[in-house]
Amino acid sequence: MDKTYQTEFRRKYLIEALPEPLTRASRHLQIFDNYIASTRMRIRSVRDPETKAWSWSLQQRIGTTNGDLSSLKIGEIYLSEAEHAVLEIFQGTEIRKNRYFHEFDRMPFAFDVYLGGLWGLNIANVDFADLRSMVAYEPPPFAIFEVTNDPFFLGENLVEKKFEDVRAEVAQVGTTALTATALPDE
């Protein structure tokens, strides 16, 4: 399995909005994730609005440690347009989001702004080269809650949710997950 899967170390944070200097008009990718029911697989379609180019892949994500979602094995097969067309029968449980990229404190971030029924959900993702650097990382100032290990925020769980469900989850988590204030220093 290790020969076909890549291990990713990632932390995820809820954010109120895109941090400066990013705006919704900044360069981004449009991501359409279709989750295949009763599996750990998704079909990912990515569109670059600037070039109008599309890419497709079949992905599988597997946790490496029971209950720890910060380390995942990712398997990915890139698809041609014809191969994607064959798999379109699985479409229907889709999450749409715009993904923005920016570096903060020399760390590359991906910012997901969810669309449709999840409009209002914004998540910052930061990837690490290894477990040690991931554990040592201090949350960025724009983070409100860390949701790395909350299974609620996995795509396969979000696909059936609405933003009202996100609000209820955040209210349930409460201030125990608070990592930073949303207010700038005065």
Query: Per residue in 172-186, pLDDT tens?
Result: 886 555 443 333 333
Average pLDDT over residues 48-60: 96
State the Cα–Cα distance between residues 125 and 103, nearest whole angstrom.
Answer: 11
Pick the range with the lowest mean pLDDT from 97-106, 135-144, 173-182.
Answer: 173-182
Any idea where the domains of the chain sit in the sequence? 6-177
State the Cα–Cα distance between residues 38 and 30, nearest whole angstrom.
Answer: 25
Residue 44: count other Cβ atoms within 10 Å of its Cβ.
19
Per DSSP (E only), the strands in 129-177 are 143-146
Average pLDDT over residues 96-113: 96
Query: In the prediction, which pLDDT does 49 show?
Result: 97
Classify residue 13 as exposed, middle or buried by CB count within 10 Å of its CB (0-12, 13-18, 19+). Answer: buried
Query: How many degrees, rounded to 5, is the angle at CA 2 between CA 46 and CA 95?
Result: 25
Share of the chain above pLDDT 90, in %: 70
Q: Taking the CA atoms of 168, 174, 180 and 181 in sequence, report the sign of the dihedral they define.
A: positive
Tokens for 165?
């469900």
CATH code assigned to 6-177: 2.40.320.10
Query: Per residue in 38-52, pLDDT tens?
Result: 888 999 999 999 999
Average pLDDT over residues 126-154: 93
pTM, 2 dp = 0.87
**Could you tell me which of 119, 44, 118 has the C-alpha nearest to residue 79?**
44
DSSP 111-129: EEEE-GGGTT-EEEEEEES
Query: In the prediction, which pLDDT does 19 show?
Result: 96
Which helix (H) or strand (E) segment holds residue 89: the answer is none
Q: Taking the CA atoms of 143, 146, 148 and 154 in sequence, report the sign of the dihedral they define.
A: negative
